[in-house]
Structure 1
Amino acid sequence: MSGFRHAPHFRAIATACILSIYLLYLWAPDLFLHETHSKTRGNVQFAFPDEDQRGKLNGGDARKADRVVETMKRTFWKYRIRSWGFDDIKPVSGGQGTSRNGWGAFIVDTSTTLALMGMWEELRLEVDHITDKIDFTTAEGGVNTFETTIRYLGALVSLVELIDNEIVPPTVLSQGTRDRILAQAITLADKLGPSFSSPTGMPWPLMNFTTGFPYAEATEKWDSGRVVVFPAHAGSNYLEYKVLSHLSGNPLYINRATRSWATLVWNKYIEEWPGLVDAPIDLFNGAPADKQRGWDRKHDSYYEYLLKAYILDPGDRYAAEYRDRWVQAVQSLRNNLVFESRPLPGQQVGVLSIATYQNGWFINEMSHLACFAPGNILLGGRYLGREDFITLGLGLLDGCHHIYDSTPLKIGPEAFSFMPSNTSGKYYSYEPSSEKEREQLEKYGFWIVNPAYRLRPEYIESLFYAYRITGDRKYQSWAWDAFTAIENATQTEFGFAQVKNVMAEFKKGNSENLDDECQSFWGAETLKLEAKHPGNEHSTSRAPLPGSNRGLAPSREVTDSRVISASNSPLYPLLNVMPITRSQAMDAAVKTFFSSPRFAVVGASQDPTKFGHKVFAWYLDHSLLATPINPRAASITISSTAHPTAPSVSALPSPEETSISIITPPSATLAVLREAKAAGVPAVWLQPGSFDDEGLAYAKREFKAGIGGAGGMGEEGWCVLVDGEEGMRVAKQDLAEKL
């Protein structure tokens, strides 16, 4: 893959022609996915009875849903009154926090939650701030590229997706407002662009938006002084940027993200456990600086995004690589890092926990973050038809539940240690070091390493997947237990606060056990996910599966694009993906089309929002000699360069050597085709929406190659933005073989 890493362009992802994808949220009851082993789409969600889909049976409880929504409303209005415009609220003191560069992280990050809950008044307030008040060209302090991508960029692209798919009605947010939100996402992505300037393409961790350069001196360095990053940092932007390329029609963003994790996906270094990369990683040459492996902090979301990248677009040229790497990683996790803890007195078996590894030592410690793994493994297990993965995911989820159920507050801690029942000759790192820890181990089967609870969503996220995939009501019940415990323990006068010690006895109104902190993911992820458990009817009958904005768009949760997007980036990318249809005849026509030395675009436009502009820009981005054809414009400007137009096909300097893309109304296309035929044009590509039956038949009959109609990799049919790069590659390969 060395050639891949250094190639100037990757596959162009055009939003105009591909299926509109919910990046951060999985649409609940009627979500169907394209099966990897079949050309038919398979049902990822459990086959609930119709009554269950309406939330009337199987634990659906409108009162519980209302309570979650009320908690979100309280969270919003406390912030609105005390901290509007700041990144977060100080929930104990009522003060303001600036933890995410001063752009209003709460406002942006929670916007998709408000959209899904139907909180239109609150959503309008947030969107007004997003479009009119935020200036992403300046920032307070250094910009963390990872956090900014999953919380800001993921939320923005996820919100646009929700508008485009009418989850947000046009009466609430107009098309013009939608376009302004997308413009903000593009501005932010462009400001983050220089972070990808490292020799490997992996992003620098911290950007200076004033100078436009990375903070090299603030980047983490290893023992040797090498500048390093971890897998989660390099591998948790693909979903957000894929969706942004889809929405903007600009392949630059997905190209950057693909190169960003190429060092991980196509790892040229030996992997003792296939799929699990050694970290941290040298930012300059991609070499591992140490042997740390795991699915926990600093590693976690890379593995999450691998699966979601595959689900997001199974037709992507590298999709199979992403799928296979994820499968390898799960198998290596199961074989090497999943341990059964020592059984408690009177029990026959212990529970499963996830360890990490460092230089020959197994670190028998697990953080709350790692409780995302059960849900991710369940999702992939169902999608790929791997029952063994489903068994593993449910076993790990039982372990996370045991931790929650054991503490006095019924909330899981930030980190705990466990004692493996059988290490099989493996060396583990930690044993209880105090009488208190030994007592905890004897009573609970684990001991606390960090007793805090930071309002994190991972356990609730995995419960959501478990319930939607298995239909077992106990996971719904566990989620409600967690919500009520969290709400009771964290509520303050000004919102909801982090807990200092989950092992302390609950005392209502006791603020001494609370930290004066509440990060945006409380509303963006935890409450969003919780709202989907009780059969919430607030967010439409096609309620998406929970996720943050990340990585759906689609990780943090599969949109938030966020299912995409980690949370926002993550929605969890469970998407309604159509199977790819291709034919040998059309593949041959595409190859012929790209065999020409020249190209032209009939209907080229000066307007960046038009397909005529996007298609012409695509040719230029791929270093192809292209002429814009537009009788009403003297030139078309792309990236500050004016390109002179030709008034018609017959005015081209060498039409017999020119393949043309046509983006004209169907009523005008047949006349263009006849002119092209008379001029000797060898091949034409009719973009979706540019032809009727007569025009398509004429193109296929009268030209050496006529491309258009149903097929290709997009729902709308053959589109150069989606199918062009593969055809160009095949044409070049064919030419090389002939030479």
Structure 2
Amino acid sequence: MLPVTNGAATRGTRGRVGSNTNLRRMASQAGRPAAIALACLLLIGGTSLLLHSRISDEQAPGLHVVSGGGAAADRVQLLAEGATLEQGSQGVRQQQQQDLGAVVSTGGPLFGSNVKLAADQATASDAAGKQAGQSGRDVVAHISKLAELGRGAKLDAARGKSHQLYGTLASSFPQRPDPPIVELSEDELASRREAVRAAMLHSWRGYEKYAWGNDELCPVTLKGKNGFGGLGATMIDALDTLHMMGFMDEYTKAAAWVRAEMPLDTSFDASVFETIIRVVGGMLAAHDMTGDQWMVDRAQQVADRILPAYNTPTGIPLNIINLATQVAKNPTWNQRASTLSEFGTHQLEFWRLSESTGNRTYADLAEGTIRHLHKLMPDQGLMPLFISPTTGNFTVRRISFGALGDSYYEYLLKMWLLQGKQDDMYRSMWETAMDEMIEKLVFTSKEGLVYVAEFDRNLVKHKFDHLVCFVPGMLALGAHSGAVTGAKAEAYMRLAGDLTHTCWQMYHRMPSGLSPEYVTFTPQGMKVGAAYNMLRPEALEAMWYMWRLTHDWKYRVWAWEIFQAFETHSKAEAGYSGVKDVRAAEPVHDDTQQSFFLAETLKYLFLLFSDDSSFNMDEWVLNTEAHPLKVSRPIQQQQQQQQQHQQKQPGRSRDVGGMTASGNEGRSIARR
């Protein structure tokens, strides 16, 4: 095996949605919606789609996104939520505010302490409102006709009954009884592990047969597709999971392809973030598990092609790079800003790469971005999502623990752990962010479900992404590792348990037993937002951390219920597919087996039913793609040890980028 609370809402009190909220009516000028509608149509291109969260359920029923790739879906979702298409009708605006449970937040420069939404601002006439509303509907009509979005993302205008279901309260579905919480025997645990291993093998066999060398498998149409530059994302993402589960023949075959055939010269605009967490992280994890140094060499070759993305006036990297031409850029849909979770999620991989190669360049570049944020906002924990790589200043006041924000916070904690708890900057930034999250964004719904909301332009949006289900695992890890102690650690653990329960409810309340991509919390209760499911791992990630740190059997029971739903509704002829609508009793497949299903989802399931000894949480840190990286001595300690070694064996090594390295292609001299 691998060695491997309660928070406060506005003004310091946690609020229930719809209760004690200071709702303000927002109005738009008569001509603004039509102008913005035109701008939306002009901006729609190969990589962007503008929709708006304020389009009512009645006006855009059943509208949801089905993606050919996780990264594309995240960005389409963000655009669908964040564009500024306004609906003019005052009555529509009132209903939208009630549905969102919007509240005006105070306290701190990012939370709108100077916001004034006076009633006299709502002066649009009924005639103007109707005209503006019609403009919005026209945009929706045009958008619904689009079939392709960028790299395979599709806009799917649902028909028939699903129109009526869009935004349906979760409580309106027939509710299943809670599963009994029972302890399992060793034989029963072994049986469940084998079931997960069988799922992994089924996923791998389909990829091997129909998509070998491609990034991802289409398990229904039986073909491969590329959304990550054709680097074999599934192949690399699956390496450590195959090894962990004991599929050594499969691992050996995949590793041979990575070593000899992985292409680096394909002209493709790749996500810097996705390439680092999946490809670089996957190969570094394989190295840490096996000791194969060539894995580090290949990871370094990929990383070197990414480095030009850091050539900006501020050192904040750009989001996209062509690995063949090494030309980097930012997309136009966010005013060419860089994204928090993207530049804030290189640190683990680049630190480990510097450690393994002896070249400190990677670690210094990635760490520089965090130090920039620390200098820019030294007393602020929560960070906006977008920053200019030219000026180094934030561009949009939006805060989210979902898409485009999530893993930045995860890596603050995990960098502190990976470095052996040496640099308190990371830990203190993480603690400050968690305290602010609890104070500003944690709420309890009418039904008693605890969730983390979003902040957008001086309003709190009561929306909870499945992606945010990583938060409880992160909180539990922080409490376990000593990042916080005493009463605060206990409060973090209580909140982690409450949030994990909400994540499970997102599955348990759906007819299919699968979670939607996100839900909203309204005065009436939990509502389905985007109804598709992409085989995401975050809820299972939370359950694994909670199981390991509490040994409460309910987390294993909940995880098994989710796995059974995957088996029933996601299993396809040649693998596992996402589904288009979790509200359906028999949902339709989206024909994509995400590479993270093998890297993360099945890994967390396997670990949930394995002994604690199978993974040492004090010696390994999982990156955001669940690739295990070995916790090791700080680089400075390795330098001191190498200097001592040099005195004994002079002339055997050289200095590279401020670090001592061997004379053999910059390889690390550090050995554990």
Above 0.5 in TM-score? yes
> How do residues 416-565 of structure 1 correspond to structure 2 at under 5 angstroms?
416-419=519-522, 441=524, 445-506=525-586, 513-535=588-610, 542-544=613-615, 558=621, 563=622, 565=623
- Distance in 2, Cα, partners of 1:210 & 1:535: 42
The code of the aligned residue for 1:332 comes to: E
Contact 2:360 2:659 in 1 (8 A): no
Report the secondary structure of 2:280's partner residue: helix
- Distance in 1, Cα, partners of 2:495 & 2:187: 25
Could you say which residue in structure 1 is the equivalent of 2:326? 212
Could you say which residue in structure 2 is the equivalent of 1:242? 351
Among 262, 285, 308, the alignment partner of 1:134 is: 262
Deviation at 1:106, TM superposition (A): 0.8
CA pair 366-244 structure 1, distance change in 2 beyond 3 A: same
The code of the aligned residue for 2:563 comes to: F
Report the secondary structure of 1:468's partner residue: helix
Contact 1:356 1:365 in 2 (8 A): yes
Q: Residue 414 in 1 paired to residue 517 in 2?
A: yes
Per-residue CA deviation, residues 460-495 of structure 1 (Å, 9 max, x unaligned), is 000000000001011111111111111211011121
- Distance in 2, Cα, partners of 1:500 & 1:545: 37
Could you say which residue in structure 2 is the equivalent of 1:121? 249
- Distance in 2, Cα, partners of 1:623 & 1:515: 48
- Distance in 2, Cα, partners of 1:278 & 1:111: 34
Could you say which residue in structure 1 is the equivalent of 2:655? 617
CA pair 715-331 structure 1, distance change in 2 beyond 3 A: farther
Among 364, 367, 374, the alignment partner of 1:258 is: 367
Q: Residue 99 in 1 paired to residue 248 in 2?
A: no
The code of the aligned residue for 2:208 comes to: R
- Distance in 2, Cα, partners of 1:546 & 1:366: 28
The code of the aligned residue for 1:299 comes to: G
What are the ranges of 5 or more consecutive residues in structure 2 without an aligned counterpart?
5-182
Contact 1:532 1:545 in 2 (8 A): no
The code of the aligned residue for 2:542 comes to: S
- Distance in 2, Cα, partners of 1:419 & 1:501: 21
The code of the aligned residue for 1:396 comes to: L
Per-residue CA deviation, residues 115-156 of structure 1 (Å, 9 max, x unaligned), is 1001001101100100011132x1241111000001101000
Could you say which residue in structure 2 is the equivalent of 1:169? none
- Distance in 2, Cα, partners of 1:58 & 1:310: 35
Contact 1:196 1:260 in 2 (8 A): no
> How do residues 252-291 of structure 1 correspond to structure 2 at under 5 angstroms?
252-264=361-373, 266-269=374-377, 274-291=380-397
Among 600, 603, 626, the alignment partner of 2:649 is: 603
Contact 1:88 1:519 in 2 (8 A): yes
Could you say which residue in structure 2 is the equivalent of 1:322? 426
Deviation at 1:57, TM superposition (A): 5.0
Per-residue CA deviation, residues 154-201 of structure 1 (Å, 9 max, x unaligned), is 00000000013xxxxxxxxxxxxx122221111011111111111221
Structure with greater helix percent: 2
CA pair 73-194 structure 1, distance change in 2 beyond 3 A: same
- Distance in 2, Cα, partners of 1:415 & 1:196: 33
Could you say which residue in structure 1 is the equivalent of 2:406? 300
Higher Cα Rg, which structure: 1
Could you say which residue in structure 2 is the equivalent of 1:85? 213
The code of the aligned residue for 2:257 comes to: H
> How do residues 168-179 of structure 1 correspond to structure 2 at under 5 angstroms?
178-179=292-293
CA pair 123-58 structure 1, distance change in 2 beyond 3 A: closer
Per-residue CA deviation, residues 7-44 of structure 1 (Å, 9 max, x unaligned), is xxxxxxxxxxxxxxx9xx884xxxxxxxxxxxxxxxxx
> How do residues 702-717 of structure 1 correspond to structure 2 at under 5 angstroms?
none
Per-residue CA deviation, residues 600-645 of structure 1 (Å, 9 max, x unaligned), is 967355xxxxxx32xx214xx3499x9x9xxxxxxx7999xxxxxx
Q: Residue 338 in 1 paired to residue 442 in 2?
A: yes
> How do residues 669-688 of structure 1 correspond to structure 2 at under 5 angstroms?
none
> How do residues 139-218 of structure 1 correspond to structure 2 at under 5 angstroms?
139-164=266-291, 178-215=292-329, 218=331
- Distance in 2, Cα, partners of 1:393 & 1:58: 27
Could you say which residue in structure 2 is the equivalent of 1:667? none
Report the secondary structure of 1:362's partner residue: strand
Report the TM-score when normalising by structure 2: 0.67
Per-residue CA deviation, residues 420-443 of structure 1 (Å, 9 max, x unaligned), is 6xxxxxxxxxxxxxxxxxxxx4xx
Deviation at 1:581, TM superposition (A): 13
- Distance in 2, Cα, partners of 1:499 & 1:365: 21
Aligned pairs, how many?
A: 485
- Distance in 2, Cα, partners of 1:470 & 1:321: 28
- Distance in 2, Cα, partners of 1:201 & 1:579: 23
Deviation at 1:279, TM superposition (A): 3.0
- Distance in 2, Cα, partners of 1:499 & 1:324: 40
CA pair 413-617 structure 1, distance change in 2 beyond 3 A: same
- Distance in 1, Cα, partners of 2:634 & 2:334: 45
The code of the aligned residue for 2:515 comes to: G
CA pair 468-293 structure 1, distance change in 2 beyond 3 A: same
Per-residue CA deviation, residues 287-338 of structure 1 (Å, 9 max, x unaligned), is 111211121211100000010111112353xx20100111111111111101
Report the secondary structure of 1:514's partner residue: coil
Contact 1:309 1:322 in 2 (8 A): yes
Among 462, 481, 498, the alignment partner of 1:383 is: 481
CA pair 107-581 structure 1, distance change in 2 beyond 3 A: closer
Per-residue CA deviation, residues 571-626 of structure 1 (Å, 9 max, x unaligned), is 3x7x66689999xxxx9xx9xx99xxxxx967355xxxxxx32xx214xx3499x9
Deviation at 1:500, TM superposition (A): 0.6
- Distance in 1, Cα, partners of 2:650 & 2:579: 58
The code of the aligned residue for 2:432 comes to: Q
CA pair 505-134 structure 1, distance change in 2 beyond 3 A: same
Report the secondary structure of 1:513's partner residue: coil
Q: Residue 110 in 1 paired to residue 241 in 2?
A: no
Could you say which residue in structure 2 is the equivalent of 1:373? 471
Runs of 4+ in 1 over 4 A off after TM superposition: 55-60, 575-582, 636-639
Using the aligned pairs only, state the percent identity.
26
Among 334, 339, 363, the alignment partner of 1:230 is: 339
- Distance in 2, Cα, partners of 1:200 & 1:26: 39
- Distance in 2, Cα, partners of 1:76 & 1:353: 35
Cα RMSD, aligned residues only: 3.3
Contact 2:344 2:411 in 1 (8 A): yes
Could you say which residue in structure 2 is the equivalent of 1:726? none
CA pair 466-211 structure 1, distance change in 2 beyond 3 A: same
The code of the aligned residue for 1:210 comes to: A
Contact 1:101 1:142 in 2 (8 A): yes
CA pair 59-367 structure 1, distance change in 2 beyond 3 A: farther
What are the ranges of 5 or more consecutive residues in structure 1 without an aligned counterpart?
1-21, 28-54, 165-177, 344-349, 421-440, 507-511, 595-599, 606-611, 629-635, 640-686, 689-713, 717-739
Q: Residue 394 in 1 paired to residue 502 in 2?
A: no
Report the secondary structure of 2:516's partner residue: coil
Report the secondary structure of 1:515's partner residue: coil
The code of the aligned residue for 1:499 comes to: V
- Distance in 1, Cα, partners of 2:312 & 2:412: 22
- Distance in 2, Cα, partners of 1:715 & 1:81: 39
Contact 1:112 1:155 in 2 (8 A): yes
The code of the aligned residue for 1:229 comes to: S
- Distance in 2, Cα, partners of 1:543 & 1:513: 36
